[in-house]
Chains A and B, each alone.
Chain A
Amino acid sequence: MLALLFILFAGMAIGCAIAVVAQRNPLYSAISLIGVFLSLACLYVMLAAPFIAAVQVIVYAGAIMVLVVFVIMLLNVDQEERRRPHLAFLVPAAIVLAAVLIGEVAFILSSVQLYPHTPTTNISDIGLTASIGAGLFTTYLLPFEITSILLLMAIVGAMTLARQTMIPSASTRIVPGAQLLALNIIDPKVPLDDTTTVLTHTTAEAERVLGIVHDHESAPRE
């Protein structure tokens, strides 16, 4: 019974993982990745870790993948064209690495056979929420707090990068379609990196506000 369930969930996980890599449409890859996470959550439940399973669904499938799906939807990432890959030079490296992987798996399986560990019949208490909470707030308190500060740093960094540099005050009028132009366009004698900002409605008004006087013998700009 348990073996049947394991084969089902592991098969789903492997199938969805292959689909992540093999799909051409990036949104289908993202949906397959969600399938992988849900199958992993079921496997965690089978391993008597219900809290980790729930947190996997809430955090990974419910928050991180929503972000990835938003990015794919908003940035209109197109499907890859099907073209023949010119990656023939990677085949020997792939064979060597696959042999190493098979060797490692064979080693693990053989040592499990050689040194069997009789499983205890009771389901362990480590996976329960109360046990995890107790450990997290007593023994592992310092790593927990440091991880929180790490996440806070990420949020602050994102906010700093996305901040608008010029924030108009409440009394400015913003004309729809207005642009920020360099001062050099109105007054060619000003260097190009002058970032004086004046909010006006017309170029003539800007010239008057900034006190720029044109001499009419200069060549007209194209």
Chain B
Amino acid sequence: MDWSTIIDIGLKLVAITVAFTVVLLIVAYTVLAERRVLALIQGRLGPNRVGFGGSLQPFADLLKFILKEDIVPDKSTRFVYFLAPVIATMAALMTMIVYPFGPEINVPFIHVTIPLVIARFDVALLYVLGVTSVGVYGIALAGWSSNNKYSLMGGLRSSAQMISYELALGLSLIGVILQAGTLDLQRIVELQSRAHGAGWFIFWLQPLGFIIYLISAIAETNRVPFDLPEAETELVAGFHTEYSAMKFALFFMAEYINMFTVSMLATTLFLGGWNVPFAEDLFGRGTLLFGLVSAIGFLVKVCFFLFVYIWLRGTLPRFRFDQLMNFGWKFLLPLALVNIFITATLLFFNVL
């Protein structure tokens, strides 16, 4: 092993640590933002006592979760009971490495080009789909191992919902893949930089794909209006009824990290990733300022999607389970196939 490999591995580890910390902080503040925004929608104030405007609330919550009593049901299957939140959180965090946060930056004094993505490989989009499929296990095993009928029902309903909407999710991404011709996420973002950085896929050719993707993504992450498996009034608390303290915090975090991941994927594929309109003309390719503005633009778009999630939670009622499954199989899946058909036809006649 020579030094350049070791330096590469070291840099990647540093990048992963930084991304991990940033993701956890953003998720913590998403929880706070959800409580405040939901409260304002519902005509009340959210938590605003701890810190300035409630900004230290996530740390208070973290302290509470760490110090709470850890209750383990007696008749549960111990190994699987402890494994389930680990699988859920691991699958949620593993997709973080493929998203491009910004363009390639030429660092001025060292003359090194740094791409702002942790891992760039050929099958990035398939990797994301694969890791999302493995994330279903966390919920199914959690529901079963609690030895509780409500948890089992919640876990099974949630897993059935997730594997049904994974189909529509995957099919809606095929339109983007057809148009881009590659599975590499950095390349897909670079292809959306036509028209001065405004040639995003949502405008040119995939509005239907975007809507299908958004609905499937909300169903994948078990959010309102698809949150029957974890609704408080329905199944006590669904699959995480018997989890307390830190393990519940892991599930909670896994749900919000999933939301964040799905928002990043939507931004990368449909909203142009780090492309900010007219930024390249103003700052020039490869400069540090261009990189910074692009990364901030990426963050703004992701936060917009998180806001849409919270907005939907405050506005819509939830689906009944059979309505949910009908909607996924009988409406979204044919619509996604129609989208592929239209995209392929337009590509064949060289309209794109």
**Is B truly associated with A?**
yes
| A-chain residues with CB within 8 Å of residue B123 when the two chains form the complex | 50-51, 53-54, 129
A-B contact pairs, 7 of them (CB 8 A): A27-B77, A27-B141, A50-B122, A58-B130, A62-B130, A69-B141, A70-B156
Q: Which residue of B has the minimal Cβ distance to A55?
A: B126
The 10 A-B pairs at the shortest CB distance, nearest first, are namely: A62-B133, A54-B126, A57-B130, A73-B144, A50-B123, A58-B130, A54-B123, A54-B130, A58-B133, A50-B122
A73 touches B152 (CB 8 A): yes
Residues of B within 8 A of A74 (CB): 156
B-side interface mostly: helix
A182 and B141 alpha carbons, distance in the complex (Å): 42
In the complex, chain B residues whose CB is within 8 Å of the CB of A51: 122-123, 126
Compute how far the CA of A54 lies from the CA of B129 in the bound complex, rounded to whole angstroms: 8
The smallest C-beta distance from A2 to any residue of chain B, in angstroms, reads: 11
Given A54-B123, A69-B141, A73-B144: A62 touches B80 (CB 8 Å cut-off)? no
Q: Does A63 have its Cβ within 8 Å of any Cβ on chain B?
A: yes
B344 → chain A closest CB, angstroms: 12
Q: Which of A27, A53, A63, A130 contacts B80 (CB 8 A)?
A: A27
Q: Is the CB of B140 within 8 A of A63?
A: no
User: A32 → chain B, closest Cβ, in Å?
Assistant: 11
Measured between beta carbons, the chain A residues less than 8 angstroms from B79 are 28
Least CB distance from B36 to A in Å reads 36
Question: Is A206 interfacial (CB 8 A cutoff)?
Answer: no
Closest to B128 in A: A54
Indicate whether B159 reaches chain A with its CB closer than 8 angstroms: yes
Q: Which of B77, B144, B152, B159 has the most CB of A within 10 A?
A: B144
Does B5 interact with chain A (Cβ within 8 Å)? yes
The B68-91 residues at the A interface (CB cut-off 8 A) are: 77, 79-80, 83
B interface footprint on A43-63 (CB within 8 Å = 1, 0 otherwise):
000000011011101100111
- Taking A51-B123, A74-B156 as known contacts, 5 extra A-B pairs with beta carbons closer than 8 A to each other, sorted by chain A number, are A31-B141, A51-B122, A51-B126, A58-B129, A129-B183
Q: Which residues of A contact B156 (CB under 8 A)?
A: 70, 73-74
Are B1 and A1 in contact, with the CB atoms below 8 A?
Answer: yes
Say yes or no: is A16 at the interface (Cβ < 8 Å to chain B).
no
- Contact between B5 and A1 (Cβ–Cβ < 8 Å)? yes
Q: What's the Cα separation between A93 and B192 when bound, in Å?
A: 64
Asked whether, in the complex, the Cβ of B127 is within 8 Å of the Cβ of A63, the reply is no
Q: Which residue of A lies closest to B83 (CB)?
A: A31
Q: A66 and B163 in contact (CB under 8 A), knowing A27-B77, A58-B129? A: yes
Write out the residue numbers on chain B whose beta carbons fall within 8 Å of the beta carbon of A212.
Answer: none
Asked, given contacts A31-B80, A50-B122, whether A73 binds B140 with beta carbons under 8 Å apart, the answer is: yes
B134 interface residue, CB < 8 Å from A?
yes
Q: Convert A159-180 into 0s and 1s, putting 1 for each residue whose CB lies closer than 8 angstroms to a CB of B.
A: 0000000000000000000000
Q: Are the CB atoms of A66 and B129 closer together than 8 Å?
A: no
B137 CB within 8 Å of chain A: yes
Residues of B within 8 A of A73 (CB): 140, 144, 152, 156
Within 8 A of A (CB), among B142-167: 144, 152, 156, 159, 163
